[in-house]
């Protein structure tokens, strides 16, 4: 049985989103002390709340990844991803509006200071995560699932390239 194109697109978006959050969660949990420093630098929670909030954020990212693999939970993972992206966009935007653009994002990829570009990036990522809700991904054949995973991985590699270019541009701008 062949799935319709919306299921393939939804599965590709889900694979991409899962890879983004897997990388982010590994980054946060791999050096949790540094991550708590990033959270503290945003100055949106008290010093006493930094560690629990940091753990909650990392755990939420793990939930997004796990939901992609658990039958019936993929839509929950997409909704959680959308919520996290919007939360991150809000907190980054708040800091940029305060003039605090020398804070490192802590997003898990190339080191990037805060900027309106990162806010826009998170809105785009939230929209891509929303595409994961476009169709049932459980109806895919093995070949379609492999196609969606390869597509999501290709998007992820392209995303990493764009993210590195953005980081390089921002670093050059800050050195002026």
Question: pLDDT (tens digit, 9 = 90+) per residue, 31-68?
Answer: 999 999 999 999 999 999 999 999 999 999 999 999 99
Q: How far apart are CA 151 and CA 8, in angstroms?
A: 9
Q: Where are the alpha helices (DSSP H) in 31-141?
A: 32-41, 50-69, 74-97, 116-131
pLDDT at 113: 82
pLDDT tens string 103-143 = 887 877 777 888 898 999 999 999 999 999 998 887 788 99
Q: How far apart are CA 113 and CA 175, in angstroms?
A: 12
Task: Write the Ramachandran bin of 72: left for phi over 0, alpha for psi from -120 to 50, otherwise beta.
Answer: left
The phi, psi pair for 113, rounded to 5°, reads: -70, 160
168 pLDDT band, cuts 50/70/90, is confident
Residue 176, pLDDT above cutoff 70: no
**pTM value?**
0.91
Q: How far apart are CA 80 and CA 129, in angstroms?
A: 9
Identify the bridge partners of residue 113 per DSSP, sorted by sequence position: 104
pLDDT at 122: 96
pLDDT tens string 70-102 = 888 999 999 999 999 999 999 999 999 999 888
């Amino acid at each position: 049985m062949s799935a319709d194109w919306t299921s393939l697109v939804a599965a590709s978006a889900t694979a991409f989103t899962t890879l983004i959050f897997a990388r982010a969660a590994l980054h946060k949990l791999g050096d949790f002390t540094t991550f708590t420093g990033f959270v503290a630098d945003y100055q949106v929670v008290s010093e006493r709340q930094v560690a629990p909030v940091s753990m909650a954020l990392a755990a939420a990212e793990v939930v997004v990844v796990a939901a992609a693999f658990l039958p019936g939970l993929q839509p929950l993972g997409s909704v959680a991803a959308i919520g996290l992206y919007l939360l991150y966009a809000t907190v980054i935007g708040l800091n940029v509006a305060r003039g605090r653009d020398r804070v490192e994002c802590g997003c898990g990829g190339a080191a990037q200071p805060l900027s309106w570009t990162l806010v826009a990036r998170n809105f785009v990522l939230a929209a891509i995560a929303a595409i994961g809700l476009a169709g049932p991904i459980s109806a895919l054949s093995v070949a379609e699932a492999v196609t969606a995973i390869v597509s999501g991985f290709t998007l992820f590699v392209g995303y990493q390239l764009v993210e590195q270019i953005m980081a390089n541009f921002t670093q050059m701008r800050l050195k002026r």
